[in-house]
Amino acid sequence: MHLPAPSLRAGRSEGRSEKGATLVETLVAVVILGIAGVAILAGLQLSVAASDIHRKQTNGGAAVRSYAEAVEKYLNTTSNYVKCAGANAYSPAVVGYTVPAGQSAQQAAAQPLAGDGSVAGGACPGADRGVQRLRLSVSSADGRATETLTIVVRRSCEGGTACD
């Protein structure tokens, strides 16, 4: 009896299956998924950092406005105006403002203003006519956010105080 010779094709198909993935295909898929995962995590990290900065800016904005209100309240009390005020003459401790935790607040040197709103020329105290521009700022402890507010204050002439 004579058996037919096996074909080459039949021999190859018996040794391996055509249904599975090769090692190269699997590695390519893993690399693509890895790159996509890294991109997603990087985007998430950027989103978290931006959210943190935005939160600190928002808190700083509210804090600097509260600081300005404390300065206004302090100046509405008679004889608290400081002619030619230097830096931190209206510091949070002086005006009774409690700085929120994780933030710092300061006031830059006051600029005396002339009647038209420009910075008054001349030497102090003669240049200070009772109106000053103050620059208040509140910063986060890590320095990632600083909010600044410029206000104009005037000397109170009410309640029997003398106005020059």
The pLDDT assigned to 163 comes to 59
pTM of the model: 0.70
Share of the chain above pLDDT 90, in %: 49
pLDDT band at 58 (very low <50, low <70, confident <90, very high): very high
Q: Of 161, 135, 157, 132, which is closest to residue 148 (Cα–Cα)? A: 135
CA dihedral 24, 26, 29, 34 (to 10 degrees): -100
Share of the chain above pLDDT 70, in %: 83
